[in-house]
Amino acid sequence: MSDRVAAVDCGTNSIRLLIADVLADGGLADVHREMRIVRLGQGVDATGSLAPEAIERTRIALVDYAALMREAGVGRVRMVATSATRDAANREEFFAMARAVLGTVVAGAEAEVITGDEEARLSFRGAIGELASAAGPFVVVDLGGGSTELVFGDSDAGVRAAFSADVGCVRITERCLGGNPPTAEQVTAARAFAAERLAEAFARVPVERAHTWVGVAGTMTTLAAVALNLPEYDSRKVHLTQLTLDQVRAVCDRLIAMDHDQRAALGPMHPGRVDVIGGGAVITEVLAEELSRRAGIAHLVVSEHDILDGIALSIA
């Protein structure tokens, strides 16, 4: 069996691929990373079902990913699907499609729905891999399209507590932020919605014991790239960026106040994030306020390594 593995993370907003070689020490060496915005969760919050066109966008991306895996000689593959598919009444249509495509790479391979708890653990493992253990305990936040995971733990004991909150950048945008730009009333409603959905996470996860806040996934990495005033997105410059909470608030306020065209004109902004980055910024501000108040945390560390790396490590 090849020591080359592939991980696919299919979320509410994007589908991502990591092909990596397994090293002798159990770590990974990247061969290829790719992300596409497919908006699988389009309308799920309102309709309860995956839109046929969203499944088709995802299928097209997955077919291309499968071709890359075959070309690279991947021997093991794991695909996980998160919030959008957990919520969908017609999710079997999606899984039948994924089974057919992944089977062209490894016989019997199929997508899995993972629980919020498993999602949190995979994110934590990927996120803290390069951080010094002395910086812990850590609170890792994976802010996705449909859900936001808070995970507390350290390098030695691993995850000690985790919770998946039912709020993400796509969900909050569809529910609260219809304006272009959003009105003050819409922003206030979005903040209240985020705070309400995150309240149980803060009750269940002892963030007051954390020393370092690590943010992962597209909202966080995009916020960092905009805060750094990058002319275009550069993952090497974004990875392990440290922002003060004042910098976090400033970039979030700036993005929330922008209209569609202003956000689209930003160099590091992926076209698929233009419509939902304001919602992600609202959630991030609520997180910053609570982590400052509860734990005295003054910085956000943004990591490019996240659940995708955790998925690959789980089969390495």
For 29, the domain range is 4-113
3-state secondary structure of 9: strand
* 54 and 166 assigned to the same domain: no
Give pLDDT, residue 2.
57
* 29 and 159 assigned to the same domain: no
Q: 220-259 burial by CB neighbour count: b if 16+ within 10 A, else e?
A: bbbbbbbbbeeeebeeeebeebebebebbbebbebbbebe
Residue 298, CA distances (Å) to 237, 250, 291 in order:
21, 14, 8
67-80 per-position pLDDT tens digit? 999 999 999 999 99
In this model, does residue 116 exceed pLDDT 80?
A: no
Is 19 domain-assigned?
A: yes
Q: What is the CATH number of the domain that holds 191?
A: 3.30.420.150
Range in 15-29, 116-130, 216-230, 285-299 with the lowest mean pLDDT: 116-130
In this model, does residue 183 exceed pLDDT 80?
A: yes
Mean pLDDT of all residues belonging to the chain: 93
Name the band, by pLDDT with cuts 50, 70 and 90, for residue 5.
very high
Is 71 domain-assigned?
A: yes
Per the model's pLDDT, the better-predicted residue between 284 and 316 turns out to be: 284
- Last residue within a domain, chosen from 54, 79, 113: 113
As a whole number of angstroms, the distance between CA 107 and CA 118 comes to: 24
The CB density around residue 216, as the number of other CB atoms within 10 Å, is 29
Name the band, by pLDDT with cuts 50, 70 and 90, for residue 115.
confident
Q: What is the CATH number of the domain that holds 11?
A: 3.30.420.40
Arithmetic mean of pLDDT, 159-184: 93
Is 118 domain-assigned?
A: no
Is 200 domain-assigned?
A: yes
In this model, does residue 133 exceed pLDDT 70?
A: yes
Arithmetic mean of pLDDT, 188-217: 96
In this model, does residue 283 exceed pLDDT 90?
A: yes
Arithmetic mean of pLDDT, 115-136: 85
Is 119 domain-assigned?
A: no
In this model, does residue 13 exceed pLDDT 90?
A: no
- Last residue within a domain, chosen from 113, 146, 164: 113
Is 244 domain-assigned?
A: yes
Arithmetic mean of pLDDT, 289-310: 95
Arithmetic mean of pLDDT, 160-166: 91
Per the model's pLDDT, the better-predicted residue between 192 and 45 turns out to be: 192
The CB density around residue 214, as the number of other CB atoms within 10 Å, is 26
* 56 and 144 assigned to the same domain: no
Arithmetic mean of pLDDT, 32-44: 89
* 15 and 69 assigned to the same domain: yes
Give pLDDT, residue 130.
84
Question: How many domains in the chain?
Answer: 2
Q: Are 59 and 79 in contact (CB under 8 A)?
A: no
* Residues 6 or more apart whose Cβ sits within 8 Å of residue 136: 128, 153, 154, 155, 211, 212
* 302 and 159 assigned to the same domain: yes
Q: 128-151 burial by CB neighbour count: b if 16+ within 10 A, else e?
A: beebeeeebbbbbbbbbbbbbbbb
3-state secondary structure of 51: coil
- Last residue within a domain, chosen from 85, 113, 141: 113
* 55 and 174 assigned to the same domain: no
* 177 and 81 assigned to the same domain: no
3-state secondary structure of 11: coil
Arithmetic mean of pLDDT, 203-207: 96
CA dihedral (132, 212, 165, 189) in degrees, to 10, reads -150
* 284 and 184 assigned to the same domain: yes
Give pLDDT, residue 83.
63
As a whole number of angstroms, the distance between CA 258 and CA 250 comes to: 13
- Kindly state the DSSP code that residue 183 receives in the 8-state scheme: P
* 105 and 212 assigned to the same domain: no
* 85 and 167 assigned to the same domain: no
As a whole number of angstroms, the distance between CA 194 and CA 221 comes to: 20
Name the band, by pLDDT with cuts 50, 70 and 90, for residue 160.
very high
252-281 per-position pLDDT tens digit? 999 999 999 999 999 999 998 999 999 999
Is 298 domain-assigned?
A: yes
* CA dihedral for 241, 78, 136, 168, sign (positive or negative): positive
* 150 and 39 assigned to the same domain: no
Is 312 domain-assigned?
A: no
The CB density around residue 92, as the number of other CB atoms within 10 Å, is 11
Give pLDDT, residue 122.
87
Arithmetic mean of pLDDT, 118-133: 86
* 142 and 109 assigned to the same domain: no
Q: Are 38 and 54 in contact (CB under 8 A)?
A: yes
Give pLDDT, residue 1.
45
- pTM across the whole model: 0.81
Give pLDDT, residue 41.
86
